[in-house]
Structures are given as C-alpha cells and as structure tokens.
Amino acid sequence: MVSFFGFGQSAEIAIQLKNEETQRTTRIRVDDGQYETFYLFYDGENVEGEVLINLKKPGQKLEHQGIRIDFIGQIEVYYDRGNQHDFLYQTNELAKAGDLYQNTKYEFCFANASKPYETYMGSNVKLRYFLRVTVMRRLTDIVHEMEIAVHTLATYPDNDASIKMEVGIEDCLHIEFEYNKSRYHLKDVIVGKIYFLLTFLAGYDLTPTMRDVAKRFSVRYFLNLVLIDEEDRRYFKQQEIILWRRLEKPFRQPIQQHFQQSQGPIVRSSIISPPSSPLPTNSSVEELIGNKQQNEE
C-alpha cells in the first residue's frame, strides 16, 4: 500500500513501509461509516520504511528548507476539532535544507515505538496513529500523512469472578442478571442468566385468560422481550402466559350449616315415621343376604 500526495505539478511523495507484503492489516470503520484497511502494529514494534519523492519533470529543481517525518499519536474530540491532543510525538530528520533535482528516497525507522493505546474511531472521539512527512518551504509547508492501526494485547486468568446485577421498578418489576465472568476477549461469548425475581401482576388491570368466548372473542396475555441495539434496531420475542383468578379468601360456611355438618348428616324432615316392620336381627339379615345371592344365581 503506497500513499501518494502531489506537490502541485512538480513532484509526488510516497510512504512505503518495510515488508508491506507480509505486514499485518486490519479493517476499521471510519467517519463516513465505510471500512478502510490499515497496516497493523503492536506496542514496541518498529515502524520503519522509506519516503520517496518523485519529480514529475526530471531535472526540475525542488527547493526546500528541510524534510522530516513524524510519528504521531493523536486524540481528537469531535465537538472540539480544533484542539487535538498529541500523546505521542517522535521525529526523524530526513534531509536538511537544499534542492532536489532527481527522484530521491529516504529511509526512516522509529525503533521500539511506544504505542500505549489502541486505535479507536468512535462517535465522539478519535484516537489515531499516523506518519506525517513535511517538506518545509519558504511560503507553505507541504504535508502528507499516512495512518496506521494499533492493537493492544492483554491476558487475564480463566478463574474470573461472575457478575450479578439487579434492576427494578418499585412495586412492579425486579430483575437479576448473572454473567459467568467480568472479562471477555473480543471473540468471546457472553453466557449469563436472567431471573425475573419479582413481577407484580397486581399493579395491572388484568382479567383471566378467556378463549373463544361464545365464539365471539378471546382474551390472551403475552410476555414480550424486546432487545434494542445501539442503532435502534429492535428484536422481539413473545411467549403466551395463562392468567387465572383464584379465591382471594377461604370460603366461610354459615354457622348453622357448619354445626349440622359437625353433628352428622343433615335431617331434611322434622318428623320421622316409625318403621312398618321390626328391624331385622342378625340371623334374619343373614337370611336376606342368602336369598339375594340365590336370586342373583
């Protein structure tokens, strides 16, 4: 990847990194939402290569007051674009003041370059690393920049503690979230559980579930789970639940009925007629049973 910048009609400049063919690359989303490919470096790695200045017309003179290349780490806050913060600034002088009459190549190397933070392109702030070549001239300096990307590496033990978090609305809802750990690598999977500890239905004006009432209507209730991402896209999951009405208080019988049940079976007639014949004795009962068995045979 070679980046060019034209000096009017007189020359072109290119920054070429060492071992570009094998250098790592990564894709990063930039300001306009598109993804661009950048060369990738880690903290402590050398940033080295060549600066090439090519004259468009051989033999044409290019006057300059010096040529240098800077390696810069910069933070830019979008609401204050005119106030960038350079947390890293290293300079290599490529040439002193003079004239160029032919295509010229300059080598540069930022050895063990400190890159303490990761490249970040957010919605409110940008952290970037770039190489800047400056050809100093009498009137206006000619500047060319080439951005690179930086990733920071880290390791954490596997025995990470789990996380528990609670959220709720008073007298309405109480939810507990549990995550298996607190540290995740960028390709990891977040595993957790969600507990609906308290979901008070009494705060809502509800009725029992009713299905196909007189073949006219039904009343059904659902639990809706809605996930909203940062781009305001919504994902829905719905599950039907059954609501029923229970007896609020134990049923209390009348005192008279309760007394009658405690004394024995209810007597519905106030006058009991005597039997038409004397009650059978034990022997007569046995005879009656025997007659019944014979009749059945």
How does pLDDT run along the chain (297 residues), one tens digit per residue?
A: 554 554 454 778 899 999 999 999 999 988 778 999 999 999 999 999 999 988 877 778 888 899 999 999 999 988 887 788 999 999 999 999 998 888 899 999 999 999 999 999 888 899 999 999 998 888 778 788 999 999 998 888 777 888 888 887 777 778 888 888 888 888 888 888 888 776 778 778 888 999 998 888 898 999 887 878 888 888 888 889 899 888 876 655 555 555 555 555 544 444 444 444 454 544 444 444 444 444 444
Q: What is the pLDDT of residue 93?
A: 95
pTM score: 0.63
What are the sequence ranges of the domains in the chain? Answer: 3-151, 163-241
Q: What is the pLDDT of residue 107?
A: 96
Distance CA 198, CA 188 (A): 31
Q: Express each pLDDT in 233-264 by its tens digit.
A: 888 888 898 998 888 766 555 555 555 555 55
Q: What's the per-residue H, E or C state across the chain?
A: CCEEEEECCCEEEEEEECCCCCCCEEEEECCCCCEEEEEEEECCCCEEEEEEEEECCCCCCEEEEEEEEEEEEEEEEHHHCCCCEEEEEEEEEEEEEEEECCCEEEEEEECCCCCCCCCEECCCEEEEEEEEEEEECCCCCEEEEEEEEEECCCCCCCCCCCEEEEEEECCCEEEEEEECCCCCCCCCCCCEEEEEEEECHHHCCCCCCEEEECCCEEECEEEEEEEECCCCCEEEEEEEECCCCCCCCCCCCCHHHHHHHHHCCCCCCCCCCCCCCCCCCHHHHHHHHHHHHHHHC
Arch. (CATH architecture) of 3-151: Sandwich (2.60)
φ, ψ of residue 268 to 5 degrees: the values are: -85, -20
Q: What is the pLDDT of residue 268?
A: 43
